[in-house]
Each structure stands twice: as C-alpha cells, then as structure tokens.
Amino acid sequence: MTGAYAARMTIAPENSNRQGFEAIREGLPAAVPMVRTMNLAFEQVSPDRVVMVLPDQPAFHNHIGGPHAGALFTLGESASGAFVLGHFGDLLHRATPLAVQSTIRYFKVAMGPIRATALLTRPVDEIREELDAGARPEFDVEIEFTNGVGDITGSMTVTWTLRPNRT
C-alpha cells in the first residue's frame, strides 16, 4: 500500500490492534480504489489474520474461466496490506508501510470465489522495536489462497517495510 493510500486511512493511535482492525474493514475499500473495483470483501479481520474474498466475477476471469493472475495478486496484496495497517496503522504519523517485494505461486487452477488468508511471520512487538530503534524493519506477510471447498490453490509472500517519515 502506498503512502498516499495509507494517508487516507483514519486510524488513530487509540484505534490500534482490535479496534484498528475493525476500522480497516471500512477504511480500506474507501481508501483503495482497486478494492472497490474488484468488489473484494472482508470475511475476517483480526490481529491474528485477515481473510479477504474475491467473488467469482466473469469480468476478472482469465482464458480458462478462473480469476486472472493479476486479480489474485491484487487480492493477496490487499489482504496483506490490511493486515499491515491493522497492526501498524497507529504509526502512520511517523512511518509509511511499503510493499518492497512479493512472490506468488499457483498450485492449481482457482475457480469460483477465492479466499486470501494473510498471516504475519514475525512478532509485531519485534517489528515495532526495530522501528523505535531507528531501523527500517522488513517483515513478511504470508498469504494462502483457497477456493470455495477449501482447496489451497496458491500462496504469496509480500515483504513489507516501515519507512520512517522524513520530518
């Protein structure tokens, strides 16, 4: 999520963690046009995980009838960005979350509605401590894609950083 999108999010420090995650549910679609364009929906929003769903929409199908690879990428990046903002949105006044790298793997053809489940791979406190110490922390968010019957269709890793804002 770019700084421009993050700046549109209205997550005050007192709304971090659980309350911040509820703010994400409404704030992300309002701040990120692609989330609205693709009709991405939140199924679960919590400090433990974010689950977003890409509905089965012919406008986003590929040549074999499943979601286009770009649609899956956007779903995964959006779920990871929501997770990052939920945990670090209270820091937007001093750091900008930026995706710095991503990888995606497709295991089987995804058909129907697809869920992206995002999980953080490092303790939140450790990442915050690095930022507090003046570092620019990097951390991964792992995403698993599943179809309507729970089959794993792919995975994605997005590496994020919290870039300290210049004053």
What are 60-84's pLDDT values in tens digits? 999 999 999 999 999 999 999 999 9
Average pLDDT over residues 129-146: 97
Tell me which architecture the domain covering 3-164 has in CATH. Roll (3.10)
Q: What is the DSSP string of 6-73?
A: HHH----GGG-THHHHHHHHHHHHHH-HHHHHTT-EEEEESSS-EEEEE---GGGB-TTSSB-HHHHH
> Listing from the earlier edge strand, what are the strands of the sheet with 50-54?
41-45, 50-54, 114-120, 138-146, 152-164, 95-106
Per-residue model confidence (pLDDT) at position 26: 82
147: closest CA among 117, 119, 107, 110?
A: 110
Question: What confidence category does residue 49 fall into, taking pLDDT thresholds of 50, 70 and 90?
Answer: very high
Per-residue model confidence (pLDDT) at position 90: 92
Virtual CA dihedral for 27, 30, 35, 39, nearest 10 degrees?
110
Question: What confidence category does residue 24 fall into, taking pLDDT thresholds of 50, 70 and 90?
Answer: confident
pLDDT in tens, 26-36: 888 888 889 99
Per-residue model confidence (pLDDT) at position 7: 38
pTM listed for this prediction: 0.87
Out of 19-23, 55-59, 131-135, 147-151, least confident range: 19-23
Per-residue model confidence (pLDDT) at position 15: 37
Per-residue model confidence (pLDDT) at position 38: 94
Per-residue model confidence (pLDDT) at position 11: 34
* C-alpha torsion sign, points 39, 43, 46, 47: negative
Cα of first residue to Cα of last residue in the chain, in angstroms, is 21
Is residue 10's pLDDT more than 50? no
What CA–CA distance (Å, rounded) separates 86 from 108? 30
Strands 41-45 and 95-106: unpaired
